[in-house]
Structure 1
Amino acid sequence: MTAADTPKAPAALDTAALRRLLESGDAPRLIDVRTPGEFETAHIPGSYNVPLDLLREHRAELRAHLDEQVVLVCRSGQRAASAEQALAAAGLPNLRVLSGGISAWQAAGAPVATGRPRWELERQVRLVAGSIVLASVLASAVFEPAKWIAAAIGGGLTFAALSNTCAMGMALARLPYNRGPRTDLATVLGALADERK
């Protein structure tokens, strides 16, 4: 792999800089790529919810509605960085990622719109993975081959870290608990178009 093949890190923007931009007359478009349930729990006022899987699937359609400065937001910055790569591949310039995501935003005491509280997706993954590992290790005291379930979960988590993807997280995001209000392409494009008027 050469230096030219190495993906560049997305341009980061810290909470203080984003707050200054939002207070100026040149506010960027805020795109929150978390699940609708996470977005409903807490989000930056004025942001738009475009879940990462929807963004990846429809990045070409979204490109036409995102021609100004765009700041991508998620819980910690990981999913926003993935969204930046997808949109950059579609030819969208002027992309930045909020460093530390909504977690850093809230820690700085910046304003948030809140709704029904839910566990964050990452916390749900830790609970499910940990519970499966614990149960399979305990079960292996009676049925020795159950230890391989724990090994499979460990392997999956290792792969998730190396590939920066999470199959368990994607599966959990589809649960009704995490869906929140319906977010589809037509709704997103309508909201983005309405602001331009």
Structure 2
Amino acid sequence: MNDFLHKLPEFLGHHEMLALGFVALVIALIVTQIMVLLRKYKELTPAGLTQLINRDSPLMIDLSAIADFEKMHVPGAKHVVMSQFDPENKDLAKARELPVVVMDKDGRNSDSAAQRLVKAGFTRVYTLGGGVLAWQQAQLPVAKGKN
């Protein structure tokens, strides 16, 4: 270890771009983690969603394409087309105090919907990390069809 520490300054001097790239990567990772900690919604694992369902009966909104929703969805989830998702809707506004879980097929579009819910005044907003595919991979039950 002592030999490594003596050779490190020489290595860094000969590989400045590599060292700068490493520093930039570390800074990017730190910034990303800080942003995750500061956002006003949480990402749930399938096990975390199961606990939330058992404890609080959340409103679950699935933003998957209709064909994907009909193939499989979390039991109890309501389908909403992303283009028609409106957190200001009077029916959805009644659920401001409930926990709301936003999901889609693979978890890629849930963040923008969660941000819109937080902006609209929802306080208990969650996303399902990995989406319905993660739910299925965890071998949890899935529903099929429109309901």
Q: TM-score, normalised by structure 1?
A: 0.50
TM alignment of 1:126-145, pairs within 5 A: none
Equivalent pair of 2:46/2:134 in contact (CA under 8 Å): yes
Structure 2 equivalent of residue 8 of structure 1:
39
Determine helix, strand or coil for the equivalent of 1:23. Answer: helix
Residues of 1 paired with 2:77 and 2:109: CA distance?
16
Structure 2 equivalent of residue 27 of structure 1:
57
Output the amino acid matched with 1:98: L
TM alignment of 1:108-187, pairs within 5 A: 108-115=138-145
Percent of aligned positions with the same letter in both sequences?
32
> RMSD between aligned alpha carbons?
2.4
Encode CA deviations 1:142-161: one digit per residue, 9 max, x unaligned.
xxxxxxxxxxxxxxxxxxxx
Residue 101 in structure 1 maps to residue 113 in structure 2:
no
Residue 66 in structure 1 maps to residue 92 in structure 2:
no
Output the amino acid matched with 2:88: A
Equivalent pair of 2:63/2:79 in contact (CA under 8 Å): yes
Encode CA deviations 1:104-135: one digit per residue, 9 max, x unaligned.
000000010124xxxxxxxxxxxxxxxxxxxx
Residues of 2 paired with 1:30 and 1:74: CA distance?
10
Among 31, 37, 49, the alignment partner of 1:18 is 49
Gap regions ≥5 residues in structure 2: 1-30
Cα displacement (A) at 1:63: 3.9
Residues of 1 paired with 2:137 and 2:53: CA distance?
18
Cα displacement (A) at 1:96: 0.4
Cα displacement (A) at 1:77: 1.5
Residues of 1 paired with 2:126 and 2:137: CA distance?
20
Residues of 2 paired with 1:77 and 1:47: CA distance?
15
Structure 2 equivalent of residue 161 of structure 1:
none
Equivalent pair of 2:41/2:118 in contact (CA under 8 Å): no
Residue 83 in structure 1 maps to residue 113 in structure 2:
yes
Gap regions ≥5 residues in structure 1: 116-180, 182-197
Aligned length: 110
Residues of 1 paired with 2:127 and 2:144: CA distance?
21
Residues of 2 paired with 1:95 and 1:21: CA distance?
12
Residues of 2 paired with 1:70 and 1:59: CA distance?
11
Encode CA deviations 1:46-102: one digit per residue, 9 max, x unaligned.
1101121111xx321154132200111111212111111111222222100011110
Equivalent pair of 1:63/1:87 in contact (CA under 8 Å): no
Output the amino acid matched with 1:50: V
Equivalent pair of 1:63/1:90 in contact (CA under 8 Å): no
Structure 1 equivalent of residue 4 of structure 2:
none
